[in-house]
Amino acid sequence: MNWETVIGLETHVELATKTKIFCSCTTAFGGEPNTHCCPVCTGMPGTLPVVNERVLEFAVKAGLALHGEITRRCKFDRKNYFYPDLPKAYQVSQLYLPIVRNGRVPIRTESGEEKVIRIHELHMEEDAGKLVHDPWIDQTRCDYNRCGVPLIEIVTEPDFRSAEEVIAYLEKLRSTLQYLGVSDCKMQEGSLRCDVNLSVRPAGSQELGTRTEMKNLNSFKAIARSIAYEARRQIVLTSDRPPKEMTALEDRLKTRFEWGLLADIQPPDFETRVAIVRRKAELMDLDMPPEVSEYIANKLKSNIRQLEGVVKKLKAYKLLVGSPTTILIAQNAIRDIFNDSQPIQVTVERIISEVGRTYGVTPDEIRSQKRTAHISTARQVSAYVIREITQASMQAIGDELGNRDHSTIVYALNQVEKEMKNNSFFRETVEDIIKNIRDN
């Protein structure tokens, strides 16, 4: 009997905001455990959450890019369940009125097959904390730094029939969100992770089988391997075989999987976990209705038209071929070239001039080899602001600042980020520089 694999995805994307969805705690990755949280994001009694406007803007922007219908009035709901990394015992999400519905994403696989993936919905929610397991002392500890980090969850229809289609969709989604600045989509940091819902059915059948959900997969390789293994496992279990034979086949498959002896099914990464589908609890209304105005929606549509224009120009220059597309579109420097925007050199000159004016040094001194306190600080801040505004590479930043090498620029950026965390006056100064450049 021939079998068909049916797959649907739930993709969680952390948004590139500076603060959390309902409070002013930082969303910076890392940090000492439980240092990026407050009474609001840990759900202490008496606290009042206030929605982050930037989260709403990013959600609408992503929805427009996915050709979805924007819900003009939406609300949040409470998803009640108890788990150690969820201190409130509920998650603020959207069930009844998600911000986006009925989208679509056209994809093209490496084999040349074209297909349109339907988007069921996109909704906003908050992330949960993280459990840190220490096998040496047999303890599990809770880190609540991630609690309240804003997410969008993008839910597809069960339109995928292979791992190849899944990877093509995720690559397209990642490049789109990176281009729009909605998320950095760093899978190694959990900024983009995927739940794979999979079932099998006889080829030609219209009835869906019993699905399983593989949660929190954070690499394309893990996703592809997990799909291959789970599809084979379900086929073995649902085949019309005597129970004894079926059990023997499953045991043999399990043994081979554990030792990696199956040539066509490699074991997934150690971090991969196949989880039992958790039944979602009843949701209670949370009275925080953000309203999407026509102004915001129309304003963000220009970004989507900009993306479509870049794609057309890349095609015209015959640069839009296969998988390199995802890299080209995600690179803002290349985007700006095909966007008919001003050259990067003009922008960098304005940045260096503004930083120099703030610290009382000239652009030539910033590019020089002098190492006085003011000049060194201005040079490091220039590197940071150039990266924030132009998204230029380390090599490009180094070239603009007097042909400095990669390690020097990395050190400068780390120094500025560290000082911004520890010195509020310094942080406000840098933020004012960025604001002045963008406003002018």
Q: Are 8 and 117 in contact (CB under 8 A)?
A: no
Torsion angle (degrees, nearest 10) of CA 425, 359, 416, 185: 100
Distance CA 149, CA 151 (A): 7
On the CB side of 62, how many CA atoms lie within 13 Å of its CA?
A: 34
CA angle in degrees (0–180, nearest 5) for 387-389-393: 30
pLDDT the model gives residue 369: 84
Distance CA 233, CA 365 (A): 65
| pLDDT tens for each residue of the chain, 440 residues long | 789 999 999 999 999 999 999 999 999 988 899 999 999 988 898 888 889 989 998 999 999 999 999 988 888 999 988 888 888 888 999 988 999 999 999 998 888 889 999 999 999 999 999 888 887 888 899 999 999 999 999 999 999 999 999 999 999 999 889 888 899 898 888 899 999 999 999 988 888 888 999 998 989 999 999 999 999 999 988 876 544 444 444 555 444 444 343 334 444 443 333 333 333 433 444 444 445 545 556 656 655 665 555 555 555 544 444 444 444 444 554 454 444 444 444 478 888 988 988 888 898 888 888 888 888 899 999 999 988 887 777 777 888 888 788 778 888 888 898 888 888 889 888 988 888 887 76
DSSP code string of 43-65 = T-TT------HHHHHHHHHHHHH
CA angle in degrees (0–180, nearest 5) for 45-48-53: 145
CA angle in degrees (0–180, nearest 5) for 382-385-389: 140
CA angle in degrees (0–180, nearest 5) for 378-380-386: 95
Strands (E), 83-175: 90-93, 100-108, 114-126, 130-134, 139-143, 150-156
pLDDT the model gives residue 436: 84
Both tokens of 391, joined, read 């998204």
The sign of the dihedral angle between the CA atoms of 202, 203, 205, 207 is positive
DSSP 3-state of 249: helix
Q: Are 23 and 49 in contact (CB under 8 A)?
A: yes
